[in-house]
């Protein structure tokens, strides 16, 4: 059964949606922009720096589910100006092993939230990872004397 999760470190979505949806097979993370991460982000941040900060936030969210970039199978990107795709690509590639890039779509969306230049959504596979209910110790945790 899917879990619908709102990250307490991010502002609550102002739309009917969740930051993450997690099931036994996948983790889906809703589109994140620089505006979603913090209110005090300078409007002068370029596409490369916005991409870096959004990717770091996505990485933090993946780690919460004990996943990493090698588990990401699909990424959807919206850029406010598609002419800046080379700036995005330079940073984006830093987060993945060369030759192991997820399937990706990138479109121009000139009306992103606030001064955001990039929005990134992803899907990661939980293959090989047994899902345990919240509060249940994992097999690698010390559960004390039996």
CATH number at residue 27: 3.30.1330.40
In terms of Cα–Cα distance, which of 124, 56, 127, 50 is closest to 81?
50
pLDDT tens digit sequence for 85-119: 999 999 999 999 999 999 999 999 988 988 899 99
Residue 10 lies in a domain: yes
* Enclosing domain of residue 90: 3-125
Total tally of structural domains belonging to the chain:
1
Looking at the DSSP bridge assignments, the partners of residue 105 are 76
Q: Which residue has the tokens 């979603």?
A: 36
In terms of Cα–Cα distance, which of 58, 31, 53 is closest to 42?
53
pLDDT of 141 higher than 60: no
pLDDT at 134: 47
pLDDT tens digit sequence for 19-74: 999 999 999 999 999 988 876 667 678 999 999 999 999 999 999 999 999 999 99
pTM exceeds 0.85, yes or no: no
DSSP category for residue 64: H
In terms of Cα–Cα distance, which of 25, 129, 123 is closest to 72?
123
């Amino acid at each position: 059964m899917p879990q619908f999760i709102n990250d307490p470190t991010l502002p609550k979505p102002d739309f009917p949606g969740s930051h993450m949806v997690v099931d036994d097979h996948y983790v889906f993370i809703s589109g994140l922009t620089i505006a979603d991460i913090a209110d005090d982000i300078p409007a002068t941040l370029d596409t490369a720096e916005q991409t870096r900060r959004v990717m770091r936030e996505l990485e933090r969210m993946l780690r919460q589910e004990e996943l990493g970039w090698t588990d990401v199978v699909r990424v959807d990107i919206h850029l406010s100006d598609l002419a800046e795709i080379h700036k995005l690509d330079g940073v984006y590639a830093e987060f993945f092993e060369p030759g192991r890039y997820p399937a990706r779509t990138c479109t121009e969306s000139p009306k992103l939230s606030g001064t955001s230049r990039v929005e990134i959504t992803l899907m990661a596979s939980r293959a090989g990872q047994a899902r345990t209910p919240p509060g249940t110790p994992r097999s690698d945790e010390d559960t004390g004397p039996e």
